[in-house]
Amino acid sequence: MTSGIQIPRTELDPARKRREAEGDEPPKMQIRDLHAWFGPTHAVRGISLDIPSRSAVAIIGPSGCGKSTFLRCLNRMHEVVPDARVEGTVRLEEHDIYSADVNPVRVRRRVGMVFQKPNPFPTMSIRENVLAGLRLQHVSLRNPDELAEKALRQAALWDEVSDILDRSGSSLSGGQQQRLCIARALALEPEVLLMDEPASALDPIATQKIEELIWELKDQYTIVIVTHNMQQAARVSDRTAFFMMGQLVEYDETDTIFMNPRVKLTEDYITGRFG
Amino acid sequence: MHPPLSPLVAPQRPNSNLTEFTSARDIERAFRAICLLALLLPLLLLLVLLVDAVVDASSRLSWQFLSSFPSRHPEQAGILAALAGTGALMVLTAALAIPIGVGAALYLEEYASENRLTSLIEINISNLAGVPSIIYGLLGLEVFVRALAMGRSLLAGAATLALLVLPMVIMASREALRTVPLSIREASYALGADRWQTLRRVVLPMCLPGILTGIILALARAIGETAPLITIGALTYVAFLPDSLMSGFTALPIQIFNWISRPQAGFHANAAAGIVVLLFMMLLLNGIAIWLRMRLQRRIYW
């Protein structure tokens, strides 16, 4: 751990204090001193932050700063990779999702995820893709068509696919595939939706659709979005966290981060002086 | 107004003349001809073999040939017992090799951690696929026929053939499992599916065409195997149909081998007819494999 740059730690989060003082909802997720490793690589180095309920949190930072790894720790997807290790506490409401008696499979049903590259199941139709999560869990569906329509409407895809539901999911365009993946995650009615650079493989128009979607979804869901694109973070999120070299540099209201950051490093990154 | 063309005084470079490539073109042509020849030669040989076999067989290929037991008289002899034996062998071999082979592949690809032991096993499986089939015959003779006291039975024969095709089934299944990208598996995990559900609902449907093709091609190889069956002492003159796992049996390649070694010309015609039937069955199996692959793969779009 010989980093050349000294990263100041933000111990207390003023916005959170403000919210709590106002008697808001308790945070949906609380992360305390989270560390994550890939084999010998220490990718996330002691991150603590709160994710407020029903809002969008954006995580920005240069490549390799640990933001995707951090995201994957929030629904225990990090451990899917061999040699991966996690330490610290991640609370989903009152449960520590890393305590020994927790089944990671159960966690992932409450904390959904959308990946960078659209990954619909190639053997399934559009309808089956949307219902895949429920079927994988052997939930018996009384009205599958209604459920599929609801999720597809939420993902703003229904109008484009309502008459081709039996076609393969992979026959859609990239942007449509990504919204199909969002519908697939929403069909499980998760409380938190993690999005790992959901628009980075898409063209500007598809990106705009995804952003509008995030804007609408955050009234109902808690969204954590990792993005390379600072404008995107500014457009869609309520709060923004700036990561660097596995550490949290600054976490505040998005407006504050972009207009009036407290830490010099954040300002340098936002203004494009590095990264 | 266009700028004037610069005068045509190209700098002196080797090969600057655009028309001077005849020698390169000749080499290209010659190479192409050699490659074509390399393709045509085996095809021609195969054609000669086929025509020769069909001409020799034409006098004997009939319903009577397919539905008669062997006989001392070549014109009365048939391959009913051999056909039944081969059919039963294939069904039993598949029943033994598919669950064990696919199971082993699933374990190696999906569950085993990568360490020295698994890589040692991997190397050994690839090597086993290249071991001469008569070695498997000797193994079958010692283990199944003698140690496990199965005798020269259908079961012993099928177990020996299953052993022979197992490495091929394992390798084809692993190859197929590897084609399923991590991103698709992660999509399934992220939906709250566990490993088994991911395997059954997502991974297996995606690699089914590959696994099935591998199995059928392995069986197509097993159908023509003679040496291991002779080694374990399969019968050559069988005038009954196998009625249990423990009954004696013969198979098409053995019947053909037996007829070829007879001095009478009539039996040689029988052997040719047997070869045509065997070739037809192999082509049929290969055809089914191709058809299955195309049919199942049409459902998977990328």
Between CA A243 and CA A229 the distance in angstroms is 14
Between B169 and B115, name the one with better pLDDT. Answer: B169
SS3 A219: coil
For B34-41, what is the mean pLDDT?
95
Tokens of A105: 């499979």
Nearest chain B CA: its distance from A261 CA (Å): 34
- Quick check: B268 pLDDT over 70? yes
pLDDT for A50 equals 94
Within an 8 Å CB–CB cutoff, is residue A241 touching chain B? no
Pick the closest to residue B255 from B279, B284, B280, B226 (CA basis): B226
- Quick check: B238 pLDDT over 60? yes
How remote is the C-alpha of B97 from its chain's centroid? 13
Between CA B221 and CA B213 the distance in angstroms is 12
Integer Rg of chain B from CA: 27
Burial of B204 (0-12, 13-18, 19+ CB in 10 A): middle
Strands A41-51 and A95-96: unpaired
Element (H, E) at B120: helix B116-128
pLDDT for B288 equals 86
Residue numbers in B near A117 (CB within 8 A)? 183
Nearest chain A CA: its distance from B182 CA (Å): 10
Residue ranges of chain B whose CB lies within 8 Å of a chain A CB: 113-114, 181, 183-194, 197-198, 201-202, 205-206, 299-302
Q: Please report, in tens digits, the pLDDT of each residue of chain A (275 residues total).
A: 344 445 444 444 555 555 544 556 788 999 999 999 988 999 999 999 999 999 999 999 998 889 999 999 999 999 888 889 999 999 998 889 998 899 998 899 999 999 999 999 988 899 999 999 888 776 677 788 888 999 999 888 999 998 999 888 888 988 899 999 999 999 998 999 999 999 888 888 888 988 998 988 898 899 999 998 899 999 999 999 999 999 999 999 999 999 999 999 999 998 888 76
Predicted complex ipTM: 0.85
Task: Give the length of chain B.
Answer: 302
Between B81 and B104, name the one with better pLDDT. Answer: B104
pLDDT for B265 equals 82
Query: Are B37 and B252 within 8 A, CB to CB?
Result: no
Element (H, E) at A248: strand A247-253
Q: What is the DSSP letter of A116?
A: S
Tell me whether residues A82 and B114 touch, CB distance under 8 A.
yes
Pick the closest to residue A200 from A89, A115, A93 (CA basis): A115
Confidence (pTM): 0.77
Within an 8 Å CB–CB cutoff, is residue A184 touching chain B? yes
* Count of C-beta atoms within a 10 Å radius of residue A172: 22
pLDDT for A2 equals 42
Tell me whether residues B192 and A137 touch, CB distance under 8 A.
yes
Pick the closest to residue B197 from B84, B110, B97, B298 (CA basis): B110
Within an 8 Å CB–CB cutoff, is residue A121 touching chain B? yes
Pick the closest to residue B251 from B92, B63, B61, B84 (CA basis): B84
